[in-house]
Amino acid sequence: MSSMSFKVKDFFNGGPNQADKLVEDATSEALDEPDWALNLDLCDLINADKLSSVELVRGIKKRIVLKSPRVQYLALVLLETLVKNCEKAFSEVAAERVLDEMVRLIDDPQTVVNNRNKALMMIEAWAESTGELRYLPVYEETYKF
């Protein structure tokens, strides 16, 4: 049985805030690159209503604000994967004020350039794919010159 199967099995066994645990696994400092199997399994769980998109997005938001560049990057990749593959995720990103944290990440002089660029590209792509985002103050703030 793969480690992914154990992670999902652990999730179904319950416990305090399993979404946070799954996000920590998907954004672990020990990962050299995104764990695509886990990221897509999380999307499947959300789409099957077996995992709360609200809790998962909150967990990702917690990881974005950490000072570890690797964890920030993996959290951004996970967030991007969710938004692209889970219909419910985008509304949670706006509702949980994740965009605000992404703007703080962009504005923080200690943020590595790759993470800053990743966050900017994600916000821009979301704005282009949905006209709704263009009217949010955080989008205007991010892209005013």
Domain boundaries, given as residue ranges, for the chain? 3-143
Angle at CA of residue 45, ends 30 and 31, nearest 5° = 10
pLDDT in tens, 10-57: 555 555 589 999 999 999 999 999 999 999 999 999 999 999 999 999
Residue with tokens 């999730």: 11
pLDDT in tens, 60-87: 999 999 999 999 999 999 999 999 999 8
pTM for this prediction? 0.81
pLDDT at 125: 87
Q: Does the domain spanning 3-143 belong to CATH 1.25.40.90?
A: yes
Buried b / exposed e over 59-97, threshold 16 CB at 10 Å, is bbbbbbeeeeebbbbbbbbbbbbbbeebebbbebbbebe
